[in-house]
Amino acid sequence: IMTSVKTLLGGSVAVGSTVEVKGWVRTRRDSKAGISFVAVHDGSCFDPIQAVVPNTLNNYETDVMRATTGASVVIRGELVASQGQGQSVEIQASEVELVGEVIDAETYPIAKKRHSFEYLRGVAHLRPRTNSIGAVTRVRTVLQNSIHNFFVNDGFQWINTPIITASDCEGAGELFRVSTLDMANLPRTDKGDVNFSEDFFGKESFLTVSGQLNAEAYALAMSKVYTFGPTFRAENSHTTRHLAEFWMVEPEIAFADLNDDANLAEGMLRYAVKEVLNKCEDDLGFFNKMVDKTLIERLTNVSETPFARIPYTDAIDILLKSGKKFEFPVQWGIDLQSEHERWLCEEYVKGPVVITDYPKDIKAFYMRLNDDGKTVAAMDVLAPGIGEIIGGAQREERLDVLDARMAESGLSGQLEWYRDLRKYGTVPHAGFGLGFDRFLNYVTGMENIRDVIPFPRVPNQADF
Ligand code: 4AD
Ligand code: MG
């Protein structure tokens, strides 16, 4: 039976079966008694399977002795009950094939010892072979799947919004511009450098910062939609929470207000966390042991407890009365800084919190103006240890109010198609954007967002 390590360790293959496993050597230990213990991993689960290899195999000296950490192997033999502690089964090997040896084992970058995450970023092509990045990769898969399941089970349509766009949804000017290049006929400057000023087929366009505006169009026809794709921000941020290219989940619902939006966000987050708790026991166990001893307890609480909801104006009062000295002074009207956000969820609520109804001047043009004329129906979901993981809002569905907001934001005369949505059968609607990689950061307890995405894109980093 050729199968994954996960299936072999999972207990469904009978002891005594002839099995075959293909993977990479994590460790090899040679005993004096002429037996080698080879631990093989294939990415399917946290633990490797151990193969017991006797020196009576005729390629023991030529091949098995060269199967060092990182080498690829195929091992065949009998599945037997394990003698030692750890796994319940192991393979009594009758055949070992060395598929690809590690040339110069001394310089293999992922040697057996523990490496810092910073070091591993420098060998991003090999780091998925480590315990930690392997675990992150599996949790990433389960978390993405659980989000898709949550929406599809609830009748949402998954729409794919464009990557190339002419609009700056957030109005923050953090855009990467897209150019077309005629490779045979590259435009050159006087100095002979390539001139990258050609636009996308003659129209100025950018990599999208958000699929929201397109999602709104589909929500106003399909009622419940979401998009889940890569988004881009040309911000020069060097933090543990920012990427230049990240993945965003953006649902959009019609006939809905801010309260419906917050309910949807909370429902999605709690469902996804519960799924990961149920399906990633070993990987979470590892993170709980190695990176954050309170992780599982914290996630269990999140899955079971309703989120606190605090209007921005109250949050400002709470911060002012906290007695805590913040670096950035607290005052109504400020954009909450990460120190404020973190104090609110880590010290005050001690869990995720939804902040609602922010001042209109610090938020995007599309957010619905509240009756007070000063605030908009916006919400951010803040998570302990991370800060903002979701930003969302009820959208301005009234054409006259939208026009006034667009004029204030210098957008008059633009986005005619977006205005059309308010002219032809407008309805109250709302949505949000979840920074998927930040959410994965939260769920794994990992410290740096660069370690939860396979190949991080940050300023000056596009190798690999
Ligand atoms: O708050 P943001 O900018 O909201 C929007 O883009 C809305 N159009 C979403 C919507 O309503 N459909 O971004 C949403 C989330 C943030 O809360 C954050 O989690 C994440 O995207 N995010 C980033 N994640 C990683 N790196 C960055 N540079 C990020 N910028 C935003
Ligand atoms: Mg935001």
Neighbours of 416 (CB within 10 A): 8
Cβ proximity of 212 and 250 under 8 Å = yes
Residue 386: what residue type? I
| pLDDT tops 90 at residue 455 | yes
In short, whether 250's Cβ falls inside 6 Å of ligand 1 is yes
Cβ proximity of 446 and 385 under 8 Å = no
User: What single-letter DSSP state applies at residue 331?
Assistant: -
Q: Which two tokens stand for residue 21?
A: 């496993």
In short, whether 435's Cβ falls inside 6 Å of ligand 1 is yes
| pLDDT tops 80 at residue 123 | yes
Cβ proximity of 432 and 225 under 8 Å = no
Site to probe by mutation for ligand 1, drawn from 168, 233, 248, 441 as the one with most ligand atoms within 8 Å of Cβ, is: 248
pLDDT value, residue 192: 73
> Of the bound ligands, which one is closest to the alpha carbon of residue 389?
1
In short, whether 391's Cβ falls inside 6 Å of ligand 1 is yes
Q: For residue 269, with 0-12 CB atoms within 10 Å meaning exposed, 13-18 middle and 19 or more buried, which class applies?
A: buried
The string of pLDDT tens digits covering residues 22-38 is 999 999 999 999 999 99
pLDDT band at residue 98 under the 50/70/90 scheme: very high
Overall average pLDDT of the 122-131 stretch: 96
Overall average pLDDT of the 437-449 stretch: 97
pLDDT value, residue 189: 72
Beta strands in 369-419 (DSSP E): 378-383, 387-394
Neighbours of 356 (CB within 10 A): 25
pLDDT value, residue 198: 61
- Residue with CA nearest ligand 1 atom 31: 435
**Closest by alpha carbon to 397, among 373, 428, 375?**
428
ipTM of this complex prediction, to 2 decimal places: 0.99
- Taking the alpha carbons at both ends of the chain, their separation in whole angstroms is 36
Cβ proximity of 262 and 225 under 8 Å = no
In short, whether 395's Cβ falls inside 6 Å of ligand 1 is no
Cβ proximity of 392 and 433 under 8 Å = yes
In short, whether 388's Cβ falls inside 6 Å of ligand 1 is yes
Overall average pLDDT of the 311-339 stretch: 96
Overall average pLDDT of the 326-344 stretch: 96
Cβ proximity of 340 and 362 under 8 Å = no
In short, whether 390's Cβ falls inside 6 Å of ligand 1 is yes
The string of pLDDT tens digits covering residues 415-438 is 999 999 999 999 999 999 999 999
Instruction: Measure 433 CA to ligand 1 centroid, in angstroms.
Output: 6
Cβ proximity of 34 and 54 under 8 Å = yes
pLDDT band at residue 87 under the 50/70/90 scheme: confident
| Burial state string for 32-58 with b = 16 or more CB within 10 A and e = fewer than 16 | eeeebebbbbbebbbbbbbbbbeeebe
Cβ proximity of 296 and 284 under 8 Å = yes
What's the mean per-residue pLDDT of the chain? Answer: 94
| pLDDT tops 90 at residue 331 | yes
| pLDDT tops 90 at residue 2 | no
In short, whether 406's Cβ falls inside 6 Å of ligand 1 is no
In short, whether 387's Cβ falls inside 6 Å of ligand 1 is no
- Residue with CA nearest ligand 1 atom 29: 242
Instruction: Measure 317 CA to ligand 2 centroid, in angstroms.
Output: 21
pLDDT band at residue 461 under the 50/70/90 scheme: confident
pLDDT value, residue 6: 97
The string of pLDDT tens digits covering residues 160-210 is 999 999 989 898 889 999 877 666 666 677 777 766 656 666 678 899 999
The string of pLDDT tens digits covering residues 225-252 is 999 999 999 988 889 999 999 999 999 9
Q: pLDDT above 70 covers what percent of the chain?
A: 97
Overall average pLDDT of the 354-378 stretch: 97
The string of pLDDT tens digits covering residues 263-303 is 999 999 999 999 999 999 999 999 999 999 999 999 999 99
Instruction: Measure 390 CA to ligand 2 centroid, in angstroms.
Output: 7
